[in-house]
Amino acid sequence: MTRAYNFSSGPAGLPESVLRQAQDELLEWGGERASVMEVSHRGKAFMAMAAQAEQDLRELMAIPENYKVLFLQGGASQHFAQIPMNLAKPGQAADYVVTGTWSQKAAKEAAFHLEPHVAASSEDDGFRRIPARAQWALREDAAFVHVASNETIHGVEFHEAPEVGAVPLVADMSSNILSRPIDVSKYGLIYAGAQKNIGPSGLVILIVREDLLARSAGRLPRILDYAVHAAEQSLLNTPSTFAWYLSGRVFQWLKAQGGLEEMARRNDRKAAALYAAIDGSGGYYRNQVEVAVRSRMNVPFVLHDAALDAIFLEESRAAGFLALKGHRIVGGMRASIYNAMPEEGVAALIAFMHDFATRHG
Ligand SMILES: *Cc1c(COP(=O)(O)O)cnc(C)c1O
């Protein structure tokens, strides 16, 4: 058996060289004579690894000094609820821009703590676009403005941080963090579950502007309070140690590849090639997202005849392409092409799609 090209949306494929390194280190990590999974998170070796991982991430993303980086648990979904608790006073409102399933879920969870105000939504258009910024009904007294920078299910991506004035911008970057350089200073808080474009599940990374940490003001149980986690360097309780370690290995891999500028070039080429193949198929394959906001990470597409879906999935799997089935909400197919997907994988998929269309025309 050999490893296939994995187009899973998450947990997603990891760089093969990182997995090999983890395999080499699995039984004995560093000089510890034990696995990284078997040592104290408060021991010297783990703390040094954790500090290195943070430093590498800071370098990769050029994170300014006045931002804290947290390595927490609970998935992005838990932070849908926890962010409002930390950033809004009880009863205070926050603005949500709804561009797909994930930002919609974020708004729904927020409603347990505050009044989420949907400032704009593209639901009526089947989440195929991002409402024009001029049409967002933002409020000056909002605690924050929330967006999902990439909608993993609908394949819609913000290619720039929207301007929202003085109100802090909060972004769920679960599925496009580290895919290109961004200006962190445009955001109040960035968060991302690891299992899409970073590492294994079980870890959530938050990048939060220091002044916002004061907003929780001791109102929350310590385990929910970002200010406490920041003060404790994300070691308030036992963290997800293996996921933290493996994510650190991915950061080193990214640096060795040439950092986020190089990842952006590769990701742009992969996405451009796949969309060109879809658009150039004479309607055999179709992607319905407005071209300007198409995702570079998740490419949903439908076949001209849904009766072919099952055959496409069966044949693609046999040919060595995993997890191309689209999310049940949108149907059809989806190719997730995160950092770990090599350009050869996308080229091979395009060749398969072309061949499939010829044979099943
Ligand atoms: C996968 C995903 C989530 C949910 O992540 P969990 O770890 O399952 O909570 C949230 N937002 C986006 C954009 C995602 O892609």
Instruction: Give tens-digit pLDDT for 178-228.
Output: 999 999 999 999 999 999 999 999 999 999 999 999 999 999 999 999 999
DSSP string, 120-153: EE-GGGTS-S---GGG----TT-S-EEEESEETT
Distance 115 CA to ligand 1 centre (A): 22
Q: Which of 174, 205, 330 to mutate to test the pocket of ligand 1 (most atoms within 8 A of CB)?
A: 174
Mean pLDDT of 228-246: 98
With cut-offs at 50, 70 and 90, classify the pLDDT of residue 90: confident
Mean pLDDT of 44-51: 98
The pLDDT value given to residue 116:
87
Mean pLDDT of 338-350: 98
The pLDDT value given to residue 189:
98
CA distances from 113 to 72, 142, 204 (A): 20, 14, 21
The pLDDT value given to residue 81:
97
State the catalytic residue, choosing from 102, 136, 244, 253.
102
Could you tell me if 102 and 151 are in contact, meaning their C-beta atoms sit under 8 angstroms apart? yes
Tell me the average pLDDT of the chain. 97
With cut-offs at 50, 70 and 90, classify the pLDDT of residue 72: very high
For residue 14, give the DSSP letter: -
With cut-offs at 50, 70 and 90, classify the pLDDT of residue 53: very high
- C-alpha neighbours within 13 Å on the C-beta side of residue 203: 24
Residues lining ligand 1, Cβ inside 6 A: 10, 75-77, 102, 148, 152, 172, 174-175, 193, 196
Q: Which two tokens stand for residue 298?
A: 């998740």
The pLDDT value given to residue 361:
84
Sequence ranges of the chain with CATH classification 3.90.1150.10: 259-360
Distance 175 CA to ligand 1 centre (A): 8
pLDDT above 90 (res 357): yes
With cut-offs at 50, 70 and 90, classify the pLDDT of residue 1: low
**Placement of tokens 């439908």 in the chain:** 302
With cut-offs at 50, 70 and 90, classify the pLDDT of residue 144: very high
Distance 106 CA to ligand 1 centre (A): 10
Tell me if residue 172 is catalytic.
yes
Give the full edge-to-edge strand order of the sheet including 285-286: 285-286, 298-303, 333-336
Q: Which atom of ligand 1 is nearest to the CA of 175?
A: 15
CATH class entry, domain 259-360: alpha beta
pLDDT above 80 (res 246): yes
Sequence ranges of the chain with CATH classification 3.40.640.10: 17-256
pLDDT above 70 (res 77): yes
**Placement of tokens 């400032």 in the chain:** 119
- Percentage of the chain lying above the pLDDT 70 cut: 100
Q: Which atom of ligand 1 is nearest to the CA of 153?
A: 15
List the one residue out of 27, 50, 58, 12 whose CA is nearest residue 200: 12
Angle 343-359/259-279 helices, nearest 10 degrees?
A: 10
Tell me if residue 196 is catalytic.
yes
Which CATH code for domain 17-256? 3.40.640.10
The pLDDT value given to residue 32:
96
With cut-offs at 50, 70 and 90, classify the pLDDT of residue 91: confident
Could you tell me if 331 and 306 are in contact, meaning their C-beta atoms sit under 8 angstroms apart? yes
